[in-house]
Amino acid sequence: MSGLTLKKAKQIIAAGKAKAEELKLKPMTFLILDAGGCVKAVERMDGAPNLGFDIAMGKAYPTIQFRRSSRESAERTAANPALVGSFLAMTGGRYLPVPGAVMIVDKKGELLGAFAATGDTGDNDEICVIAGVEAAGLSHKLPA
């Protein structure tokens, strides 16, 4: 398994933060997990909500475990709400099915981690994380 370096994680966060500032979004928290689900990097903008870390973790952790964006998780559980309780139990409470987290995938199609943001709307959070991943020359989707 290839590794996600701290330098690359900081680059991804910086690009996500730049997108948030460009769009004049509310203060955000950014979180990157490695492929094993461990925290690689986190940054909380001044004024971001105190629960930002926990919310971002709830978006990012299942992105790693289920190999799909938090938006895709939200869509799946909307179609079958009974899954939410099961997923909460399976992830130790780290399951928040709302947009704002995507995978970090290298050019070989290998999952490196997940990038999550929170603090604005889920749609805006997702715009920032996609921008961060793409600015680093990586993908936010696994190959088909």
Q: Which residues pair with 105 in a beta bridge?
A: 111, 139
What's the total number of domains in the chain? 1
Which CATH number characterizes residue 74's domain?
3.30.450.150
pLDDT of residue 87: 86
| Residue 33 forms part of a structural domain | yes
**Region 53-59 average pLDDT:** 97
The amino acid occupying position 26 is K
**Region 77-85 average pLDDT:** 87
pLDDT of residue 2: 55
| Residue 70 forms part of a structural domain | yes
- Going by their DSSP bridges, the two strands 111-118 and 29-34 should be labelled as antiparallel
| Residue 121 forms part of a structural domain | yes
> With left for phi above 0 and alpha for psi between -120 and 50, is residue 43 left, alpha or beta?
beta
The residue among 140 and 88 whose pLDDT is bigger is 140
pLDDT of residue 26: 98
Domain holding 40, by residue range, is 6-44+52-135
With pLDDT > 70 as the criterion, what percentage of the chain qualifies?
99
pLDDT of residue 93: 85
Mean pLDDT across the chain, nearest whole number?
94
| Residue 66 forms part of a structural domain | yes
Q: Are 72 and 141 contacting, i.e. CB atoms less than 8 angstroms apart?
A: no
| Residue 140 forms part of a structural domain | no
